[in-house]
Amino acid sequence: MAAQMLLVIDLIESAAVVILAVLSITFIGSRLDKSFWLRGLACGLIFGVTGLVSMASPVSPVAGVVIDARNVVLALSAVIGGPVSAAITAAILGAMRAFYGGSGMIAGLFSILIVALASSGLWLWLQRHQGGVLGIRSLLVLAVIVGFLPLMSLVLLPALPAQTLFLIAVLVGPVNFVSIVLLGLVFMGEAQRRWAMGAYQESRALLEAVVDNAPAVLFQLKELRPGAARFTYLSAGTRRVLGIKGEDLIKDPSSVTRFLSADDIASLSARLADSAHDMSPWSTEVELSVAAGAPIWVRISAKPRIDPHGGVIWDGLLFDITERKRVEQMKNDFISTVSHELRTPLTSIRGALGLVTGGAAGELPPSVTPLIKIAHSNAERLVRLINDILDIEKIESGRMSFELVPMAPEIVVKHAVEASRSYLPEKDVSIRFVNEAPEAMVMADADRLHQVLANLLSNAIKYSPQGEEVLVHQQLLAGGGLRISVIDHGPGVPPGFRDRIFRRFEQADSSATRGQSGTGLGLNIVKAIVERLGGAVSFESRPDVETAFHIDLREHEHSAVQSNEAEEADSMVGPVLICEDDEEMAVVISQHLRDHGVLAEVAPDLKAAGAELAEKEYLAVVVDVDLREQKWLFLMKELCARTSRDGTPLILMSADLVEARQALNGSAVGIVAWLDRPIDGIGLRRAAAAIADKLPQRRPQILHVEDDDSLLKVMSAELGPEVRVIPARSMQEARRELARRSFDLVILDLQLPDGQGEDLLDSIPSETAVVVFSASDPGEELCRRVQAAMTKTRFSETAIGNLVRQLAFRRGESLPTKALKRPIARAS
């Protein structure tokens, strides 16, 4: 028992040395792994020295018998270092044993040899089948080799008592077995630790390489107090993007103020405070003033989290978007150029074609008329395309302006319906308006709502079958709000397209729709505008049965709207009495007169008209003659006599003018205009001008500042002979004309050859009305300085002509002069 204890103590002492050797091997092993011979040499020498130390302090359980840990050391040398290591260690240990000599020398040398050979064989097997990795099963095999193979050498010892041989076997076998297992586990644990450390260092190096070479700066912010934070980490990209080392920003947080303006610092502080409060991600774009070079634009995005200590930390990215901003500016400049270079000639083309198709150039030969209509239709199509592209750009940049006011949507809907009747006339599609909420009021922008309805109506007409009907339905929703629906009976929306219908540039690619032209922008613009109006857009579709697009808007109280309409009515003249039994036609005529600054009242028949004339004075009377009415001739003659005595102009409309003229014969006194049914816009404009002729007037003088000769001619023709138009093709020419004479109104283009038209405003007297008509969209500040601002291609020449006449006649006192309460139109 005492011998066993001595052996264990000796092996423990040897184990300490062996562990030191194993640690040394694992420390240098990674440096020598790539060289088979150097690794074998180093391991062999280290384990050889370790074996010498073990052999220097052996245990002698019986006289003449010496036991040490040489075989344990040799086996580990072979398994760790390979055959070269085993050979070197075996040579050193064998030389030492030969030096000691004695009767057991042969047995000792044999033991060293068989352990070296068996352990080397195990190393070869591990290299071939286990990738050189020592596992638990291979470790047990090694323990068996070291524990029991050396016992074979006992037969080579001199004759010893059986009890002594048994004692040696009992001491050497189990102790060597356990020693190999324990020391092998130490080696395996250290190897595993070294592998894990290597893998960690490799993954960290890989991560750092990816982070440092990423196109963005990765950062980490830690909250110090609400609205304030400091960097705790910045990737190496900080030097590339900001021109400063990340470590410097971490050490000196105040250096951040060198990059940001005071406003940006305040904005970021507010974002941090809000994000820390509700743990929401945030992002922003700011301009930074870097040390070297021009300022740069960056996009910063971060997401908060709670650290183990309960503080708020943001993990984020900082991207350099300077190039993107530069490209955006180039795009904006290009769009601005396209806006000016295309809008002006298109305005002239469309205006000229519109005048020709309207009969301003006289009656056209039958062979020419279809060609002119084709050209006019395609000019309108090109105008819509350009306007859609420019609208998308304005929506993206947030420059699309909205002027939300209380309004009655019925008026806008009727205008949109009337404007859409001329779209694709060859399809013979009719439009019917059903209004179940005539008193409804909403908070909206009339121009934008008109644009939405025009888009939906043009789509409905385009996809409707020949001769079908499009229904516009206005109704109140059960849960509150107003719904305007545009319903057609076309092919419908394909099921696979429904999720993409409001996306930009999306078009249904089916046999039913592939032949239809379009940009795929209209519905995207509709959705953006309706959402800006505080509403929502949706659709329902049953293929080949019915498709309905719905605009849902919030209702508004009536009082504010009524006050606004009262102010508008106060700035108008009239009234004019309209004798018309068709309610829809009465609305159309009333609106055309209203566009000329004239209020209108409606009488359903001649008898009612006579009663109204007996009660009050009217600026003029418009009568739709119904030849089927039995007493029409008697009542009409009576009305003619009454209006003639009062000097009230009379305008007659009839489906059969020849018969009406013959029936009235000499009784047709006081009639200033005869209009054919169905009525058209040109006839109504001439009728409105005839009403204005009743009053004393002078020809208003208008200065048209425009460098495009074709547009000057088109606008002059549109305005007609009742006004005098003086052209000015440059800033210098305009200033010269303004110095020579006074004008009732100035039509102003913003982009002129020698400067910006806006600079002329200081030279225009305050009492002179100014209408901006330019290819460039005027800003809100400019809109506030002028009476009206209209964009080329957004408004037709007829619309600008009507507006200019209205303003010019008021200023020229052809109609009673009253101050305008607000601009009549503005930039789209």
Q: Are 493 and 539 in contact (CB under 8 A)?
A: yes
Question: What is the C-alpha to C-alpha distance for residues 281 and 49, in angstroms, rounded to an integer?
Answer: 63
In the predicted model, is pLDDT for residue 4 greater than 80?
Answer: no
Residue type, 347: T
Q: Which CATH architecture has domain 405-559?
A: 2-Layer Sandwich (3.30)
In the predicted model, is pLDDT for residue 548 greater than 80?
Answer: yes
What are the extents of the domains in the chain?
Answer: 2-197, 215-320, 405-559, 571-677, 701-811
Mean pLDDT, rounded, for 260-265: 85
Give the model's pLDDT for residue 314. Answer: 93
Q: Count Cα neighbours of 524 within 13 Å in the Cβ-side half-sphere.
A: 19
Give the model's pLDDT for residue 821. Answer: 29
Between the ranges 374-383, 421-430, 702-711, where is the mean pLDDT highest? 702-711
Considering Cα of 282, then 285, then 287, then 293, what sign does the dihedral take?
positive
- Cross-strand partners of 783: none
Pairing state between β 216-225 and 312-320: antiparallel
Question: What is the C-alpha to C-alpha distance for residues 533 and 446, in angstroms, rounded to an integer?
Answer: 10
- Least reliable range by pLDDT among 247-256, 340-349, 469-478, 564-573: 564-573
Between the ranges 399-403, 455-459, 698-702, where is the mean pLDDT highest? 455-459
Q: Count Cα neighbours of 183 within 13 Å in the Cβ-side half-sphere.
A: 32
Mean pLDDT, rounded, for 376-389: 78
Give the model's pLDDT for residue 822. Answer: 32
- Least reliable range by pLDDT among 200-204, 410-414, 461-465, 709-713: 200-204
Give the model's pLDDT for residue 560. Answer: 43
Name the nearest CA neighbour of 622 among 571, 661, 585, 584. Answer: 585
Give the model's pLDDT for residue 423. Answer: 81
User: For 770, phi and psi rounded to 5 degrees?
Assistant: -125, 130
**Three-state DSSP class for residue 405:** strand
Mean pLDDT, rounded, for 278-287: 91
Give the model's pLDDT for residue 639. Answer: 73
- Cross-strand partners of 771: 747, 788
Quickly state the pLDDT bin for 262 (edges 50, 70, 90): confident
Give the model's pLDDT for residue 698. Answer: 57
Question: What is the C-alpha to C-alpha distance for residues 414 and 584, in angstroms, rounded to an integer?
Answer: 9
Give the model's pLDDT for residue 344. Answer: 76
Total number of residues shown for the chain: 828
Question: What is the C-alpha to C-alpha distance for residues 13 and 57, in angstroms, rounded to an integer?
Answer: 9
Give the model's pLDDT for residue 505. Answer: 65
Domain covering 571-677 assigned CATH 3.40.50.2300 in the classification: yes
| Segment 304-322, tens digit of pLDDT | 999 888 899 999 999 889 8
Quickly state the pLDDT bin for 696 (edges 50, 70, 90): very low
In the predicted model, is pLDDT for residue 431 greater than 90?
Answer: yes
| Segment 770-828, tens digit of pLDDT | 998 887 777 777 888 888 877 776 666 677 777 777 777 665 443 332 222 233 344 33
Q: Structure pTM?
A: 0.46
Please give the CATH topology (third level) of the domain spanning 2-197.
Arp2/3 complex 21 kDa subunit ARPC3 (1.10.1760)
Give the model's pLDDT for residue 382. Answer: 81
The reply to whether domains 2-197 and 215-320 share a CATH topology is no
| Segment 120-168, tens digit of pLDDT | 888 899 888 887 788 888 888 888 888 878 877 766 666 667 776 777 7
Name the nearest CA neighbour of 147 among 180, 177, 170, 169. Answer: 177
Quickly state the pLDDT bin for 619 (edges 50, 70, 90): confident
In the predicted model, is pLDDT for residue 538 greater than 90?
Answer: yes
Structure tokens at 93: 């240990």
Give the model's pLDDT for residue 624. Answer: 78
Mean pLDDT, rounded, for 718-726: 85
Per the listing, tokens 């121009």 go with 447
| Segment 450-459, tens digit of pLDDT | 889 988 998 8
Question: What is the C-alpha to C-alpha distance for residues 723 and 702, in angstroms, rounded to an integer?
Answer: 7
Please give the CATH topology (third level) of the domain spanning 701-811.
Rossmann fold (3.40.50)
Give the model's pLDDT for residue 550. Answer: 95
Q: Are 776 and 751 in contact (CB under 8 A)?
A: yes
Give the model's pLDDT for residue 693. Answer: 55
Question: What is the C-alpha to C-alpha distance for residues 219 and 225, in angstroms, rounded to an integer?
Answer: 18
Mean pLDDT, rounded, for 626-641: 67
**Three-state DSSP class for residue 221:** strand
Give the model's pLDDT for residue 138. Answer: 86
Q: Are 820 and 571 in contact (CB under 8 A)?
A: yes
Mean pLDDT, rounded, for 671-677: 67
Mean pLDDT, rounded, for 345-352: 82
Listed in sequence order, the residues at least 6 apart from 732 whose beta carbon sits closer than 8 Å to its beta carbon are 754
Structure tokens at 734: 């305009």
Pairing state between β 755-756 and 751-752: antiparallel
Mean pLDDT of the chain: 78
Q: Count Cα neighbours of 558 within 13 Å in the Cβ-side half-sphere.
A: 4
C-beta neighbour count of 718 within 10 angstroms: 23
pLDDT > 70: percent of the chain: 77
Question: What is the C-alpha to C-alpha distance for residues 172 and 759, in angstroms, rounded to an integer?
Answer: 109
Question: How far apart, in Å, are the Cα atoms of 120 and each of 43, 92, 106, 142?
Answer: 13, 16, 21, 10
Question: What is the C-alpha to C-alpha distance for residues 319 and 214, in angstroms, rounded to an integer?
Answer: 10
Return the CATH number of 215-320, one of 3.90.78.10, 3.30.450.20, 3.30.2270.10, 3.40.630.30: 3.30.450.20
Q: Are 651 and 635 in contact (CB under 8 A)?
A: no
Give the model's pLDDT for residue 364. Answer: 82
